[in-house]
Amino acid sequence: MLLRGVIREAIFPKVGQLNENIRIERPAVILDFVLAVSVEVGDATNEERIITSSLFGRDRVLLGKNVVVVGNVQSNGRIVIGDESTIFGNVVGKEVEIGEGVRILGNVIAKGHVAIGMQSKIGGYAASVSGSIEVKDGVEVFDIFGYSGAFLGQNIHIMDYALYGGRRGVDAEGEVFLGEYQVSSPKAIMVDGSLNLLSVLIPAQYNPRGSLKYLKENLDSIIDIRTYLEMHNIDIGELEMELKIKPIQDALRRMVSEVTQTLSMSRPSITVTNPTAPVMITVGDNNVVSVSTSEVDRHLAVNLVELFQKARKNITEGNLKMAYSSLASIREAASKNGSVPEELEELLRIIRNRVREGVNSPSEDVKGALISLLEAAYNKMLKI
């Protein structure tokens, strides 16, 4: 089953037995949990996000890059967390592989091997109850428990005062930070398969408040998905609208292309009068559109085709501010006719919201949706 867009209901077996393989692709906001045989999530981007609630895949859970899970990730099998992803909860699986720059606010617990990529941050424990743990350079974690070994890269920050390496002990490539202390020679404090700073500290030097504060702050940061959406001003209604217009994108593009070709080749001279308003539109040579009204003594001449082409070029080049300026001029001309196409209003609304959010260069999919609306408005205003 493919999930995309806004999914408001939980995904779980209807007859009590798991039989679905779920694939989630961008853009997507999954507002409730997903329960399936396997769950695969594609890569996300800053413009086309993937935000989900808790995920459970019986056999596996595979997350792409930049994915946000506001909940837990759990599997009886393998779990892979892609680079730069964020988990507002715990990760529990048979084996867990974490990419680079990942942030997990809760615990990471596996029956077997655990691998944590460079510069990742774990708010709670990283534990393997019957396997080993491999931690790459620059990782920050509350504490580590490895049943059959803990293998540490360089510049590892552990917020507690001790870590357990089990049967094979702890193998550290470089310095390790335990609590607020820097340990340049980890082997000097190796005790029974553990790095234990408490073995050399006197009671007055032991102050666990900093460690506990780190743990508490991470756990307190775990929130529900609706709170996350509100905090990040994510409009799921806008996402739903964008996805609704995408299926008709190709048909609109072909239709408007034919209209554009006709106008550019024949130089028509056409007059359209709106019977509900004292307004007349004339399309003359070179596609110059004149809008005139008898209510006021004025005549407005606007090259709408040029404005449409300019707006399309701005959208294609990722300049939404300039596109909005051209579209505002088009709307002014359309309002003189007594009717502004709803596609034009929707286009202006989406671009206005994007610009307010600081997004001036949209993704390719969003560009396509905007151009579809633009072409639909063009077809309505210049339809022969």
Domain spans of the chain, in order of start: 2-220, 236-381
At residue 23, what are phi and psi to the nearest 5 degrees? -125, 125
Six-digit token pair at 42?
Answer: 């594609």
Which pLDDT value is given to residue 369?
86
Strand partners, 56: 35, 74
Q: Residue type at 241?
A: M
- Secondary element (H or E) of residue 122: strand 121-128
Alpha helices, H only, 193-319: 209-220, 225-231, 236-245, 249-266, 304-316
Which pLDDT value is given to residue 55?
95
Q: For residue 342, give every residue at least 6 positions away whose Cβ sits within 8 Å of its Cβ, in sequence order, or none.
A: none
Six-digit token pair at 119?
Answer: 């510069």
Full pLDDT tens readout for the chain, 384 residues: 889 888 888 887 766 667 789 999 988 999 999 999 999 999 999 888 999 999 999 999 999 999 999 999 999 999 999 999 999 999 999 999 999 999 999 999 999 999 999 999 999 999 999 999 999 999 999 999 999 999 999 999 999 888 888 888 888 888 898 888 888 888 778 777 788 777 666 555 656 667 778 888 888 888 888 888 888 888 777 777 766 655 555 555 555 555 555 545 444 444 444 444 444 444 444 444 444 444 433 334 346 777 888 888 888 888 888 888 888 888 887 777 677 888 888 888 888 888 887 877 788 888 888 888 888 888 877 653
Six-digit token pair at 18?
Answer: 């798991």
Which pLDDT value is given to residue 293?
43
Which pLDDT value is given to residue 100?
96
Which pLDDT value is given to residue 114?
96
Closest CA to 56 of 34, 41, 78, 40: 34
Q: For residue 379, give every residue at least 6 positions away whose Cβ sits within 8 Å of its Cβ, in sequence order, or none.
A: 252, 255, 256, 259
- The Cα–Cα gap between 207 and 303 comes to 74
Verdict on whether the full-model pTM lies above 0.95: no
Alpha helices, H only, 267-319: 304-316
Residue 38: count of CB within 10 angstroms of its CB: 18
DSSP 3-state of 367: helix
Cβ distance 53 to 68 under 8 Å? no
Cis status of the peptide bond prior to 27, with omega within 30 of 0: yes
* Separation in Å, CA 314 to CA 43, 253, 311, 371: 27, 17, 5, 10
